[in-house]
Structure 1
Amino acid sequence: MWFGIISLFPEMFKSIIDYGITSKGIKKKLLTLNFWNPRDYTKNKYHNVDCNIYGGGSGVILKAEPLIKAIHAATQKVKKSVKTIYLSPQGKQINKLYVNNLLTYKNIILICGRYKGIDERIIHSYIDEEVSIGDYILSGGELPAMILIDILSRLIPGVLNKKSSNDTDSFFNNGLLDCPNYTRPRILKNKEKVPEILLSGHHKKIKKWRLQQSLGYTWLKRPDLFKKKKLTKEEKILFNEFKNDFFKKNL
């Protein structure tokens, strides 16, 4: 997957280029990141990239012309069909369905806004979609862009060492949260023990326990997700067992 990133601060992306899963994807040549800075398309590299808002009011927005030139440069680089996304608090929020749909695109341009945003005419003429990571305001679109790249990179075949690592993650685990996980030591501070089932070596029972815990944890932590889940006959039995045990321990 190829990403063309338009940002006033491309240096911020060094963290995902040098570290973590995204870095592995880049080294394996499964992921490519190219950058365009709107400042490079102004008469003065350190000025003329933003301006006051027509009609008055506080704050500034990014000017249209430098952004248009940067978008054109990015589009010319890939020379193939490309999806252009503007990271914006006014956009649709990222979720599992959106991410899966986005995987059908091999070339994506990400536009990182700054200040109070960008000229509305850019959105009308050059943007395919506005995308948000939540109902709050950040200083710019760089962090949301990095989050989106990280999410997508995990789903590109070959980036993760094992596909099952992603299949069992929260939200990608059949719409459920992940089950609780444990590692060494078996007993923590002389009292907290790893559940015996995980030490049994009985893989079928472990798989069933993990499903039951995922159902229960989703019910407890994200009831909104649980309401959307259509349970199979087996899942209903496992969930009812979890719920009964939960109430026994907490009443």
Structure 2
Amino acid sequence: MKIDVLSLFPEMFDGVLHSSIMKKAQENEAVSFRVTDFREHSGNKHHKVDDYPYGGGAGMVLKAEPLFAAVESLALEESKKPRVILMCPQGERFTQQKAEELAAEEHLVFLCGHYEGYDERIREHLVTDELSLGDFVLTGGEIASMAIIDSVVRLLPNVLGNSDSPVHDSFSTGLLEHPQYTRPADFRGMKVPDILLSGNHGEIEKWRQEQSLKRTFERRKDLLENAPLTEHQQKLLKSLKSKEKS
């Protein structure tokens, strides 16, 4: 996968893209990163990329010309257009399912804006996706794009040490992940559940599914509306709802 980031502050990405899993992903040739200051495509000697909004109002608006030129320069040699992602608080809420969808792409381009907003023609004619991390506003799109890039790249083949790891992540199954424990089995009187020490893998998997459902019910009931539940989980959910009412 190729990932391009268009930002006014490319130095913000130095540590994130060259550490931990992102560094390993590049070493394993699973992904390549390129961060471009789109002031280079401003088309004017002052490298100006923003202007006052028509009709008046507070703040400055990013101009269409530099972002169109920057994206077009990235895709000139490609027959297939890249997925162009606009980081914006008005965008679709980012989810694990969206991360899985993007992980299947060959080329992603992230647009990170600042100021008051974007010229609307960028939304209408340049981008393929508008994404948001949640119902809050950041100074710019850089931090949000870093989070999304991390969540996508870790899903690529040969990135994580264990290929099963992302399969059991919270949200990948539609539910939150089950509790995890490691050695020692008894820490200050706090003991690991006996079932995890039993060696009975069938019962352990059943326990994990039950705990995953229970945790989701307690913390994120909204996820259960569309979660694909087994017959056993459906019975357990009915029992949890009954106990909550009593």
What TM-score, normalized by structure 1, do the two folds share? 0.88
Does the residue aligned with 2:76 lie in a helix, a strand or coil? helix
Q: How many residues get paired?
A: 246
Corresponding position: 1:12 with 2:20: no
Measure the CA separation in 1 of the matches of 2:45 and 2:104: 36
Does the residue aligned with 1:105 lie in a helix, a strand or coil? coil
Give the equivalent residue in structure 2 for 1:126.
126
Deviation at 1:108, TM superposition (A): 1.3
- For 1:122-201, list aligned pairs within 5 A: 122-172=122-172, 174-188=173-187, 190-201=188-199
4+ runs of 1 displaced by more than 3 Å?
A: 42-47, 77-80, 236-248
Give the equivalent residue in structure 1 for 2:37.
37
Distance 1:158 1:38, change over 3 A: same
**Does the CA contact (< 8 Å) of 2:43 and 2:66 recur in 1?**
no
Give the aligned residue type for 1:185.
P
Give the aligned residue type for 2:197.
L
Does the residue aligned with 1:76 lie in a helix, a strand or coil? coil
Measure the CA separation in 2 of the matches of 1:4 and 1:115: 21
Deviation per residue, 1:201-228 (Å, 9 max, x gap): 2222211111110011111111111232
Tell me which protein shows more helix as a share of its residues.
1
Does the residue aligned with 2:117 lie in a helix, a strand or coil? coil
Measure the CA separation in 1 of the matches of 2:171 and 2:158: 20
- For 1:26-175, list aligned pairs within 5 A: 26-42=26-42, 47-76=47-76, 78=78, 80-172=80-172, 174-175=173-174
Give the equivalent residue in structure 1 for 2:214.
216
Measure the CA separation in 1 of the matches of 2:41 and 2:233: 57
Distance 1:229 1:67, change over 3 A: closer
Distance 1:240 1:43, change over 3 A: closer
Corresponding position: 1:228 with 2:226: yes
**Does the CA contact (< 8 Å) of 2:39 and 2:47 recur in 1?**
yes
Measure the CA separation in 2 of the matches of 1:202 and 1:245: 28
Give the aligned residue type for 1:15.
G
Deviation at 1:77, TM superposition (A): 5.7
Q: Among 199, 202, 221, which residue is 2:200 paired with?
A: 202
Distance 1:48 1:230, change over 3 A: closer
**Does the CA contact (< 8 Å) of 2:83 and 2:109 recur in 1?**
yes
Give the aligned residue type for 1:179.
H
Distance 1:105 1:230, change over 3 A: closer
Give me the CA root mean square deviation.
2.4
**Does the CA contact (< 8 Å) of 1:36 and 1:74 recur in 2?**
no
